[in-house]
């Protein structure tokens, strides 16, 4: 008889513990479901307020944190296609603006160039119509058959052995990379290509209104002041080549985005949920 209260006490404790455990599990499940829905709601808000990138990040977090919340994840799949569509819209608008800008530059400058082709040349090149052949101490921006800008330079007189070209406005300067010097009688010639000359041509294009001095730098140095014609031709050549490249790039991006839009539209149809958004 003395053990009866003790047994009842144990039963009461066990029963209470089981109820608390079940309640705890129920609250845990409810909490996960609520948290998943809240995260989805936050993603919906980001999508509707024009922030598709943040929407996609929140949906990635939803998938990672609550992989068992199937219904919420299904809604997230459809929301992802909506956010992707908005992202594509924005990217297309940006690309169209860049393409229009590049096209305007190409149209404006195309007539200012001529193609130089000769059987003695390894390849033809484009150059400003106002430019002739290199003469004396000179520099000339050209566009090769691949659409890349290069800088042909020459120096006449006492040899300098120059392998670099430095252009300055007195306060700032730009320098080419190092290239090989070729000597012909009393003429030295160096051609700077790609990254060897891009920054220097850009510097000239940005400072055509200033007095610019070019230094042919090697064992010795020789300096000239760039003429208005030289500055203009370098600027036009650089800007035209960059615009042509930008236009081709934008055209490629447009094709890519259109393909992405088609893929996303297909995914949108497959993941659509009746009654959701």
Question: What tens digit of pLDDT does each residue of 93-123 get?
Answer: 999 999 999 999 999 999 999 999 988 888 8
- Split at pLDDT 50, 70, 90, the class of 130 is confident
168: enclosing H helix or E strand: strand 164-168
* CA dist 51 → 64, 87, 190 (Å): 21, 8, 51
DSSP state of 36: H
Q: Which residue has the tokens 């659409």?
A: 147
Q: Give, as one character, the DSSP assignment of residue 170.
A: S
CA distance 237 to 208: 13
Q: Helical H runs in the chain?
A: 4-48, 52-65, 70-109, 198-206, 228-271
What's the pLDDT score for residue 29? 52
pLDDT of 118: 85
Percent residues over pLDDT 70 in the chain: 89
CA distances to 80, 152, 235 from 76, rounded to whole Å, are 6, 58, 51
Provide the 3-class DSSP secondary structure of residue 133.
coil
pLDDT, tens only, 174-232: 999 999 999 988 899 999 999 889 999 999 999 999 999 999 999 999 999 999 999 99
Alpha-carbon span 35 to 134, nearest angstrom: 72
pTM: 0.81
Confidence of residue 242 (pLDDT cuts 50, 70, 90): very high
Mean pLDDT score of the chain: 90
Q: List the Cα angle 192/127/150 in 5-degree steps.
A: 15
Euclidean distance between CA atoms 4 and 9, whole angstroms: 9
Closest to 197 in 3D by CA, of 250, 144, 129, 137: 144
Place of tokens 């860049």: 98
């Amino acid at each position: 008889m003395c053990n009866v209260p003790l047994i009842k006490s144990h039963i009461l404790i066990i029963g209470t513990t089981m109820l608390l455990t079940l309640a705890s599990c129920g609250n845990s499940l409810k909490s996960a479901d609520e948290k998943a829905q809240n995260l989805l709601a936050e993603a919906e808000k980001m999508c509707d307020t024009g922030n598709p990138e943040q929407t996609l990040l929140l949906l990635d977090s939803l998938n990672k944190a609550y992989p068992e919340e199937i219904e919420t994840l299904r809604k997230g799949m459809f929301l992802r296609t909506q956010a992707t569509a908005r992202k594509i819209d924005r990217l297309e608008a940006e690309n169209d603006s860049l393409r229009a800008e590049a096209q305007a530059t190409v149209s404006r400058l195309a007539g200012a160039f001529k193609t130089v082709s000769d059987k003695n040349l390894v390849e033809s090149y484009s150059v400003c119509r106002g430019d002739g052949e290199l003469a004396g101490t000179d520099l000339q921006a050209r566009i090769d058959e691949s659409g890349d800008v290069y800088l042909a330079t020459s120096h006449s007189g006492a040899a300098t052995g120059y392998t670099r070209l430095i252009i300055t406005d007195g306060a700032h300067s730009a320098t080419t990379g190092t290239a090989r010097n070729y000597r012909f009688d009393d003429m030295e010639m160096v051609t700077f290509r790609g990254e060897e000359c891009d920054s220097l041509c850009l510097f000239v294009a940005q400072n055509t209104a200033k007095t610019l001095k070019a230094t042919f730098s090697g064992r010795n140095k020789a300096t000239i002041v760039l003429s208005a014609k030289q500055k203009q031709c370098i600027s036009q050549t650089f800007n035209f080549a960059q615009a042509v490249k930008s236009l081709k790039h934008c055209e490629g991006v447009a094709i890519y985005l259109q393909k992405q839009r088609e893929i996303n539209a297909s995914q949108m149809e497959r993941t659509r949920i009746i009654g959701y958004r």
